[in-house]
């Protein structure tokens, strides 16, 4: 998780510094952070491009990690790949990760608001796609646990979104 946080330091939208690493058998195969489309100005240069309270100037970290695999010819399908993200991916990024065959997502912190319908959609990914999402919790320096079954994560998401 520390590596995902280090990758997030490259993010160019200060609203959230998000990092994602894709790992296959303890080997990092791709990294991604939220940043602008290649060749376009970044938020820290041009400001945010907000639509309904969301900055649309950037591509999400998870998408950039998957795109890095595509650009460099790294296959994702039929592998046991885990996505480590310092923030819980949004529903669209979870859809993207599931669609390329990633079935395990580990995150540390919540970000963004989730509505009831999207939380129900997330539960369907568990049911139909065998998706596992776990929350990484630091207990102390060097000590951590992975917690939360999918229904527990959805309950936490609902509570976080209502706070």
Active site members: 62
Token output for 103: 């079935």
Q: Measured between alpha carbons, how far is 21 from 27 in angstroms, rounded to an integer? A: 10
Would you say how long the chain is, in residues? 163
Q: Exposed (0-12), middle (13-18) or buried (19+): which is 37, by Cβ within 10 Å?
A: exposed
Q: Exposed (0-12), middle (13-18) or buried (19+): which is 151, by Cβ within 10 Å?
A: exposed
Q: Measured between alpha carbons, how far is 162 from 113 in angstroms, rounded to an integer? A: 8
Radius of gyration of the chain (CA): 15
């Amino acid at each position: 998780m520390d590596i995902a946080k280090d990758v997030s330091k490259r993010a160019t939208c200060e609203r959230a510094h998000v990092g994602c690493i894709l790992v296959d058998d303890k080997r990092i195969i791709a990294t991604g952070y939220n940043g602008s489309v290649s060749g376009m100005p970044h938020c820290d240069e041009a400001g945010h491009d907000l639509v309904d309270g969301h900055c649309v100037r950037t591509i999400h970290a998870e998408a950039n990690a998957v795109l890095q695999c595509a650009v460099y010819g790294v296959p994702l399908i039929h592998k046991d790949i885990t996505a480590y993200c310092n923030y819980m991916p949004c529903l669209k990024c979870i859809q993207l990760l599931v669609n390329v065959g990633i079935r395990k997502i580990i995150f540390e912190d919540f970000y963004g608001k989730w509505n009831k319908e999207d939380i129900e959609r997330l539960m369907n990914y568990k049911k139909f796609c065998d998706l596992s999402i776990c929350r990484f919790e630091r207990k102390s320096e060097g000590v951590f646990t992975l917690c939360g079954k999918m229904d527990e994560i959805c309950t936490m998401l609902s509570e976080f979104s209502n706070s």
